[in-house]
Structure formats: C-alpha cells, structure tokens
Amino acid sequence: MKKIISLALLLLLFCGCSVNKIQEESFDSIIDTVLYKDSNLFNVSFEGYKFYLPRGATVKEKKEYNLEIRDKKNTYFMYIDTIAYYYKTKFEHKEDKSLFYSKNLDNGYIDISKVKNKYFVEIMYNYSKIEAYVNEEDLGYSFLNICSMLSSISFNDSAISYRLSTHESDMSTEEFSIFKSRKDDDNFLKYVEEFDKYKDDQKDTVRDDDVIETDEGEW
C-alpha cells in the first residue's frame, strides 16, 4: 500500500514536467524510492518471471524473454536475461558524463541520451533492461514507469533451472547483451529511429495463454 501511494505522488510530481524541471535530484529520488525498493506487487506472470505492469500499459508482443510494452504514449522494450540471473553475472558500467543523464546502479546502469529533441532511455537493473524513446514531456513519466517495472521483476528459480537444463541452447534469445549500452553501438542512431515506426494500431501478438494476469501473491 505504501508503494502504491508513493507511486501516485511521484506521478503527480513528474507527469507533464518539462526537462528543465526534472533535475538530476529528481531522477535520483525515483531511483531511491522506486527502483531500489523491494516490491511484492505483480500482475503479469510469464514462464520464469513475473513483474508489475503499470496501469494503462499492456504487453503487445512477446518473443521468448523479450517484450514490447506500450502505454498511451510510449513503447517500451523489455529484455530479460534469465541466464545472467541464474549464474549471478556481475559487470561494471562506466558513467558517461557527456549524456543527458548517466548513472551506475547496483549491478546495472542508466543512460539517457538526447537524440533529435527526444530522449532515448536505457535502464538495466535486476538482470533485465528496458529501453524507450520518448518526448521531452514524457521523460519523467516513462522513467518512473520503467523503474516501477524493473524493481518488481521476480524470477522463478525452479522454472529457469528446468529450462536451462533441458533447453539450454534455446535460451540465448537476447539479440544483444543487456549489459552493453546501446550508445556504444555503431548503429545506435539507426536503432533509435526504428522506435518512431511503431504504430498504435498494430495488433497484439501475445496470446491469452501466454500471460497470466494475477493479483499480488506467490507462484
């Protein structure tokens, strides 16, 4: 209940704010109060993991451990690395002060790049990563949504262990390493441009039996 109240207050604070009003301290506040807080909330469950999907957001497409999520304005791409989670992979990320915002997290990172008057957000945390390309007025809102989703991800050790032992060759589904920032890719600008090609009228490709919508609880 406390987490729901804090999210509501943060939404009131950051929704509609311009970038000039969203200072570094604002991002740090969301990280401390949302991303780093343990969450027992979830309303979506797939094989091997579950997480909380913010109100108004839907899973539009699922391909193994990669998800396309949309709210009323933005498209988010989520990548889940169950193998890195299973083996508790560690890495280091170098902050880039030339970016709009760059920060090291606990075994993760945040890179926000300004590209053509919009903002490309990359947040890697909890062995998962979410990317979004958003307008200036949506930056605070999308940042909060991403942190909310990543903080709530919980893994099913038994399901991951079973699949890893029986289908290990099929589990390398990520198209890239979530530990690597897109900004370091030579095709970064081309990739960002792809975000603008998604249309709201695309049909859902997630079958009803793929997703389990549930209230707070255990597996």
Question: What is the arithmetic mean of pLDDT over 179-194?
Answer: 78
DSSP 104-138: EETTEEEEEEEETTEEEEEEEETTEEEEEEE-GGG
Per-residue pLDDT at 208:
40
Rounded Cα distance between 88 and 103, Å, is 21
Can you give the residue range of the structural domain that contains 46? 2-198
Asked if the structure places residue 153 within a domain, the reply is yes
Rounded Cα distance between 149 and 58, Å, is 12
Per-residue pLDDT at 16:
47
CB atoms within 10 A of CB 142: 23
Question: What is the arithmetic mean of pLDDT over 20-36?
Answer: 77
Per-residue pLDDT at 216:
41
* Domain count across the chain: 1
| DSSP SS3 for 168 | helix
Asked if the structure places residue 136 within a domain, the reply is yes
Asked if the structure places residue 210 within a domain, the reply is no
Judge contact between 59 and 53, C-beta under 8 A: yes
- The pTM for the full model equals 0.80
Per-residue pLDDT at 215:
42
Report which listed range, 24-28, 80-84, 204-208, is most confident. 80-84
Asked if the structure places residue 217 within a domain, the reply is no
Per-residue pLDDT at 191:
75
Asked if the structure places residue 93 within a domain, the reply is yes
Per-residue pLDDT at 207:
43
Q: Answer yes or no: is pLDDT of 10 > 60.
A: no
Asked if the structure places residue 85 within a domain, the reply is yes
Report the DSSP pairing between strands 101-105 and 212-213.
Answer: unpaired
Q: Answer yes or no: is pLDDT of 59 > 60.
A: yes
Asked if the structure places residue 203 within a domain, the reply is no
Asked if the structure places residue 211 within a domain, the reply is no
Closest among 158, 138, 188, 168 to 14, alpha carbons compared: 138
